[in-house]
Each structure stands twice: as structure tokens, then as C-alpha cells.
Structure 1
């Protein structure tokens, strides 16, 4: 385990350093992405920002992301900064056959902001009309200052993306591990895990509950890895699932750390973790489904772990239906 001394704080406004963006532009941008990503790309309409993922031909995830349409023939993928370069290099091999240009944007400024006494615009000192902030999870709004994306969470929160560095602006934000821990904890409690380079090419999308979050379209045509992903879904072959767990610990576990049963046999592995308000650790781990089905005792580094509920059921959610619901 990695020793970490920070604890969670109330979610305010914090600079997020774990995210980056990849822009895809050009006359063939939509056609190109349609053949590579699990999303139905035309659902990204400048309002709805579907979750998506990119896979190997064997259906293993190279990256998961959120897909935004920023303008005509202009899409933006938000993903882990650790996967930005590798995904860009992977996609460039296919983009060469299309009128599509990929631009990695490692230096965009991302701020996570929660709902408090002030509006998100006021607390950041921005001239972004409150009525333009997206109210529904998975939707976004843009203007010439920023892009605001509504995130899931127990209380309203937004991811703000700036095309310029805001260090010189009069904006009061946290820039510390404690603030980022609070944001990460909300992701964990939302059952939302962003893949990093430590576990790239390791999981089927369903192992991160991606179809339960609307991140896989089973109605679109072919994309890289689609056959394997579809077969796993329709034949019920997914025997590992993302689960929410708490454990009493003084340090955060490493990504990939094993969770074990009473016989010290590995039954899962950590994907992401954060401290909670009590100083314990909450995490998302890809676990054998037997843990839930057979109520198997689970341990992390010898400490007993507790299985917590997720805020959604493990069943397929079609992004096409999500998009319809947002427009009604």
C-alpha cells in the first residue's frame, strides 16, 4: 500500500490532474470514431455526452472516456491522463485512412466543482450564466470561456474544462490531494471508474460495469472489439464485476492490489480508492461475482472488507434510451 496522509474534505472547487483530453476533428471525424468506439457517436449532439470506450480486437479496454461534440466536425474525448498518449497513438493508425486529425491536449485545465451556497459560476468568478450550466447528469454546455459537464454524485457536481491556463485569473480553487480525494470519493460512490495505464488491456468493458452506465451501444454497427463485447453480454459470460468496498486502513492500496478470501486466494483487484469522512478507505474493485452471490468474506492486506451498494443495478442501459430521456 502507498502511504497517504490526506483525508477527504467537503467537495468544493478543486484542480483535477488525473484527466486529459483528445480532440478529433475533420470531415470524417464522426465516421472514424464510429468504427472505433463503443458509443453511438451521433448521440453526442453538443448536449448529451455519452460514456464510451476503446477496445482491442479481443475486447479488452484500452481506455474509457466521455465523448463530447464541441462543434461541427469536432469531438473531444475526456479520459485518464495516463492513457492519453497511448490512445492517441493507437487511433492514429486508423485515422490515416480518414479526413480526421487527432490532437492530444495534456495541458487543459480541469476543475471539479460541487454545489454549495454559491452557484458554480459565482464561486469560480466566471461570467457563465447559471441557466447554461447543465442540470442533467451526462450533459454539457460550452461557451468561449469553458465547457461544463454535469457529473454523477450524491450532490450536484460539474467538471469544468478550460482551453487556457487559469493560474493568472482571480479564481479561488483547491490544488491539493485532499480536494482531489474528495472528488475521487464521489466517483467511487457513483460507481464510476476511469481506467489508467496500470490496467490497460486488462478488462472487458462490462467488468467496469460500463454497460450499466450506458457506455456501450449494442445497437450500433461494428467497432474494434465489438464482437467479443457483444458475445460476453448476450451469452452472460461476465464473471467479474466492479464492486464498491470499504476497509479500515491507514493508507490507500496500490492499483491492482489483490482482495482475497479467507483462504488467501485472490478474488478481485483494486481499480481506484480514496479516503472517506471517517478516515477509512472506500474503493472500486473488479471482483469475482461469487463474492456477491455466495457472500464470500473479503480481505485487503489482511483487513476485513465490507461490500457496499452501488447506486445503479447491474443491467444493460442503452445510451440511445438515455439520449431520448434527456430530450423529453
Structure 2
């Protein structure tokens, strides 16, 4: 019996970026390195403000007709408008695809996901391993009805996928943070392959490069666990009566909960060293740095 799980991510939309100058256009705008990206390739990426904060985040797929941007539906029209603003006279085609062309996430069973990939190539626009983290599974873009009909597994919903994503420690825009509020390093985008530090200039590049070379990222999204339900996104994470960060998305797992939180790592380390518990609402929480992360809690002596 198949253990594959899949879900139509109805909260995601696709924008097609085509035309003779599509590669050059995106390369000069987004945080990811687009040059050398072959058909079937994928990247995580973002469009930043001039001050280096995340204005939009998305996944980028290289397809036969150009590129697909897999982005939150809530802001897809705004992203399309911003891309149009930057297009000027470039030979670039921009199109928001209809709702029946969407994104299917496939996870849980690697071998079955591989079968889904092979099937998806026959009817999908794009079929890739999630470029942020392979453990997240596959993402298939195409006709929602046709792709779903090909998959032999357990259909799930967006909430089930979000639990899977949270359990892997991967934050997403809007669900974990608001746009124009945080830097790519805060959102772990540098850890998840979404920022190139070797390509040429793009919007906000100078600020992001400075943070990288100075090692000045003090806030990071990390995983949290609790034996009680967690409050809504944005709730303060407290240590000794002082805020050390804010809650992102969370999900219940029986009588407990898991979540993601943007925390000042030095303050968390200091609280841990002093035996001060962390609280979010009425829930006491434990902090875990994701397994894939190259950062860790600093030594308490580095805290301000």
C-alpha cells in the first residue's frame, strides 16, 4: 500500500516569466542565481526591497517556456505588478496562470515520490524535488485535476502539508513572517539555497552581502516544541518577562504542538544558560535548531 501523501496547495499560484530576455531579467532582480539553471531545475528565491528586506518569496522552476514562480496566492497579483514595473522595455512575458493550473506537494515516501516525478513529467509543467530541502518532498506544477489523478496515495490538505513543512523547520513568507519586515538571513533563506553570494547585483544585494560577510545575522527562524497548544502567529516568545522573538506558524500534534519562531539566538542562549524558561502565551516551549542549519545557539557570553 502506498504511503505517499500529496496535497493541492490551493494557497499557491504560478506566474510564468517568458520571453527572450527572461533569464537576464530575473538574474538582475532576485536573490537566487538563475544563470546556468537547466530545464527541470529549481531554486528558492526572493525579491527584496532596496533596503534588503523580503518583499516577496517564491520558488523558481525552469521550464520549456521560460520560468515559473511558485508564490503565495494572496500576493501573486502584487508580485506580478511589481515584476511588470521592473520589466520596462525588456523582452519579457509575464502571466498569472489560471487557478486550475496549480501546485501539488508530494511527500512521505521517497520511492513513491520518485514514481510521481516520472509520471509528472508526462503531464506537468514542472516536477521537481523541493529546492529548499529534499526532505520536504516533490512539487508538481500543472493541471491540478490531471496531476491528482495520476498520484496513487493519500490525498491531504494544505494544513497537513504545513505540519510537514513545520516539522522540517522551513519557514515561508506570510505564514511565518510578513513581507517587508525581515531580511533573507532572518528567514534562513541563505541556509536553504535561496541567496547567491557570488552572482552580480540584484535589488537589495548590498545589504544582504554585508550581513553575510560581517556575520551580523542575530535573528533566525528555529523550531519550537510545546506540550500545549500555541497561540496565533505573531505572539511574543518571552524569557524572564522580556521578548526574545515572535511565533510564526504552528500546528497541533495531539496534545502537543510544533512551530517555527523568529528568535534572537543570543538572548535564547543567555536564557538557557541562566535556567530561564521560554514562554509563548501560556505554553512553555523548547527550542531546536533545524538539523540542516549551519548556525547554532551562540555562547551566552556573546549576548548583549
TM-score scaled by structure 2? 0.83
Stretch moving more, 106-115 or 74-83: 106-115
Stretch moving more, 23-32 or 197-206: 197-206
- Tell me how far apart the structure 1 counterparts of residues 21 and 125 of structure 2 sit (CA, whole Å): 25
- How do 1:120-135 and structure 2 match up within 5 A? 120=113, 129=118
Q: Which residue of 1 aligns with 2:91?
A: 99
- Structure with the bigger RCO (C-alpha within 8 Å, sep 6+) is 1
The unaligned stretches of length 5 or more in structure 2 are 296-304
Native 8 Å contact 1:262 1:297 kept in 2: yes
Q: What is the aligned counterpart of 2:263 among 287, 292, 299?
A: 287
CA offset at residue 203 of structure 1?
Answer: 0.6
The unaligned stretches of length 5 or more in structure 1 are 1-9, 131-140, 316-328
TM-score scaled by structure 1? 0.77
Stretch moving more, 186-195 or 207-216: 186-195
**2:267 aligned with 1:275:** no
Q: Which residue of 1 aligns with 2:188?
A: 209
Native 8 Å contact 2:54 2:182 kept in 1: yes
Q: Which residue of 2 aligns with 1:222?
A: 201
Aligned pair count? Answer: 285
Native 8 Å contact 1:109 1:166 kept in 2: no
Q: What's the CA shift string for 1:200-225, capped at 9, x where partnerless?
A: 10010000111111211011111100
Q: 1:120 to 1:232 in 2, by over 3 A?
A: closer
Native 8 Å contact 1:11 1:183 kept in 2: no
**2:303 aligned with 1:314:** no
- Tell me how far apart the structure 2 counterparts of residues 70 and 117 of structure 1 sit (CA, whole Å): 23
Native 8 Å contact 2:197 2:209 kept in 1: yes
Larger fraction in strand: 2
- Tell me how far apart the structure 2 counterparts of residues 191 and 229 of structure 1 sit (CA, whole Å): 22
Q: What's the CA shift string for 1:141-181, capped at 9, x where partnerless?
A: 74444532213365x732222235449958677666xx433
- Tell me how far apart the structure 1 counterparts of residues 110 and 178 of structure 2 sit (CA, whole Å): 39
Native 8 Å contact 1:259 1:299 kept in 2: yes
Q: What is the aligned counterpart of 1:84 among 70, 76, 81?
A: 76
- Tell me how far apart the structure 2 counterparts of residues 164 and 14 of structure 1 sit (CA, whole Å): 10
Q: Which residue of 2 aligns with 1:260?
A: 238
**2:32 aligned with 1:39:** yes
**2:30 aligned with 1:54:** no
- Tell me how far apart the structure 1 counterparts of residues 184 and 51 of structure 2 sit (CA, whole Å): 11
Q: 1:121 to 1:219 in 2, by over 3 A?
A: closer
Q: What is the aligned counterpart of 1:162 among 133, 142, 153?
A: 142
Q: Which residue of 2 aligns with 1:110?
A: 103
- Tell me how far apart the structure 1 counterparts of residues 25 and 148 of structure 2 sit (CA, whole Å): 38
Q: Which residue of 1 aligns with 2:281?
A: 301
Native 8 Å contact 2:21 2:90 kept in 1: yes
Native 8 Å contact 1:60 1:202 kept in 2: yes
CA offset at residue 314 of structure 1?
Answer: 3.0
Q: Which residue of 1 aligns with 2:12?
A: 19
